[in-house]
């Protein structure tokens, strides 16, 4: 694990490696990037979600995962989310000089999603996506909200993410990802002030 994130003018980057008997994940992020992504998880729709999160969040992301896909997609989706959440948290450091809060709506054709984020240091996730299919590509629909919950747990943020309408599950899941990306982009933005956005003095 490496990180360099202290001070308002320092680069906010981190690298995390997570190894278990089920997966091996390596993640690097740059919170002040341009949205460049290099992602390989072995699950096409999960790659698509991560690419959208990077691009619309303006977070440079490198993520490679080797997982037990011969069993199913659960461990890979979960551990990629856990590693990414931990990496984002490391890159944020003490969260000095960030907005902390973010909210966004994102449409995709008939689908409309809403995300609200608080980088509070306390983990909570309320996820309501309304997915009805069994899977989107090779990613089980039950693992889409599980991915977002796992990310919020390791990022230690409060995340409220819901899809307000939509008929197509691909659209619903992708709109939710894009809404989260936009909310995160707002929450991690630098304010230009060297303070912590909390009456407690820490996040």
Q: Hey, what CATH topology would domain 2-187 get? A: Ribosomal Protein S5; domain 2 (3.30.230)
Rounded Cα distance between 82 and 151, Å, is 5
* Residue 201: predicted pLDDT: 84
Going by pLDDT thresholds of 50, 70 and 90, the confidence category of residue 197 is confident
0.85 cut: is pTM over it?
yes
How far apart are the C-alpha atoms of 26 and 28, rounded to whole Å? 7
Per-residue pLDDT tens over the stretch 63-98: 999 999 999 999 999 999 999 999 999 999 999 999
Nearest to 20 by CA among 86, 89, 72, 83: 83
What percentage of the chain has pLDDT greater than the value 90? Answer: 91
Confidence band of 18 (pLDDT split at 50, 70, 90): very high
* Residue 109, both tokens: 């054709």
């Amino acid at each position: 694990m490496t990180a360099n994130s202290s001070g308002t003018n320092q680069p906010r980057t981190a690298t995390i490696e997570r190894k278990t008997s089920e997966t091996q994940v390596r993640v690097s992020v740059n919170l002040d990037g341009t949205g460049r992504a290099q992602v390989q998880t072995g699950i096409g729709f999960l790659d698509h979600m991560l690419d959208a999160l990077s691009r619309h969040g303006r977070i440079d992301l490198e993520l490679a995962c080797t997982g037990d896909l011969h069993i199913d997609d659960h461990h890979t989706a979960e551990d990629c989310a856990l590693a990414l959440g931990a990496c984002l948290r490391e890159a944020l450091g003490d969260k000095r000089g960030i907005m902390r809060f973010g909210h966004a709506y994102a449409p995709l054709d008939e689908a409309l999603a809403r995300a609200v984020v608080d980088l509070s240091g306390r983990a909570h996730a309320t996820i309501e996506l309304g997915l009805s299919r069994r899977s989107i590509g090779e990613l089980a629909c039950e693992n889409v909200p599980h991915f977002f919950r796992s990310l919020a747990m390791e990022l230690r943020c409060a995340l409220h993410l819901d899809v307000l309408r939509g008929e197509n599950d691909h659209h619903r899941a992708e709109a939710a990802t894009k809404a989260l990306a936009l909310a995160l982009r707002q929450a991690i933005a630098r304010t230009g002030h060297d303070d912590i956005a909390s009456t407690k003095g820490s996040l």
